[in-house]
Amino acid sequence: MKTIFPTFGSPTKHRDYQEAIRRMLPHFRNLTFHQITGQELYKFTETLKWKTGPNKGKPLSRARKVNILIPFRAIWNDACDHYRWVIKNPCDGIHKKLPKTEKKERLALRFRDWQLFLESLEEHYRPIAELMILTGMIVSEMAALTKDSIQGDYLKLTSSYVLKNEKSSLKTAFRKRDIYITDAIRKRLDILVARAATPYLVTSARGSRLHSTDFAKVWKKAVDKAGIAPMTSYTARHTFAAWALTIGVNPLRLVKLMGHASKQMVYEVYGNYVEGLEEDAVAILDYFGRDFIEPRKKKNPALYGYSTGHSQGIVKPNYLIPLSY
């Protein structure tokens, strides 16, 4: 804690390591490294339970346990390197011992559920939530937006705001991206600009910068009031991807819009969310706007699968076009 911890630049890493070490010390404080075996480490993982919230007292998920073991592995490796110890790492094979937990399926919202949610959300936060689902941005990216982020036809994402700390970097280098400002996005940005009393665009109802914990409470309150299935604000990002695919956006373009390094996430994760949304396609397209799938610099209908219905003011997503078209 005295030598390594101060070198961490990420506030998230500070928080995660502190929590993990607080959990580890009671169990391992009086054990020598020789006494810490794989079986002893497994016994420790069996004691890991939720301390607060609705799951209080229940075992942590496999993923949470693995994350807590990350600092343990780092401490072990550093100690072995420093003292030139040649002893078996108890972390070896621990993943095979941990019980598998069923992953929760992250489904995209149906359009009607999104409308019910917005109607139940406090008015101040509606343009914020809408900007999230129209762009795929997350709370930390939104909180870092300033008036200077709006540059002509593009919204430039270059930083994030995590745990009340400004970060000049995003989750990955690919998350730094330029988002084309459609008419729908511009409408929400205009609201945020008009009411911004500081350089920051996205604020709480009190005027302070948006904070993920406070926003999560506001979000949950609206979900409960709307009577829809439980979801977090991150659902808006998944829904953005699913809706984009539903109205025929090229998956390779979606990779850039989402700020991913490759198309793997789009094909293997978000692609699963499209099923069942087909009947919402027209409403989604109207909500996003035609300029979302047809950027001004790319007006070739062949690229986006437009049907002859375009001349009648109707645009069909490319999955609705007959194969013989």
**pLDDT tens for each residue of 219-264:** 999 999 999 999 999 999 989 988 998 898 888 888 888 876 666 6
Task: Give the model confidence (pLDDT) of 192-227 as tens digits.
Answer: 999 988 889 999 999 888 888 899 999 999 999 999
Taking each helix axis from N to C end, the angle separating 183-195 and 126-135, rounded to the nearest 10 degrees, works out to: 140
Calculate the alpha carbon distances from 290 to 32, 79, 118, 298, 304 in Å. Answer: 65, 58, 22, 12, 11
- Kindly tell me the burial class for residue 144, based on how many C-beta atoms sit within 10 Å of its own C-beta (0-12, 13-18, 19 or more): buried
* Residue owning tokens 């094909």: 267
CA separation for the pair 208, 210 (Å, rounded): 6
If one counts every other C-beta atom within 10 angstroms of the C-beta of residue 59, the result is 16
Q: Please name the amino acid found at residue 172.
A: T
The whole model's pTM is what?
0.68
All structural domains of the chain, each given as residue ranges with its CATH number in brackets, are 5-97 (1.10.150), 111-320 (1.10.443.10)
Q: Is 155 helix (H, G, I), strand (E, B) or coil?
A: strand
What's the pLDDT band for 325 if we cut at 50, 70, 90?
Answer: very low
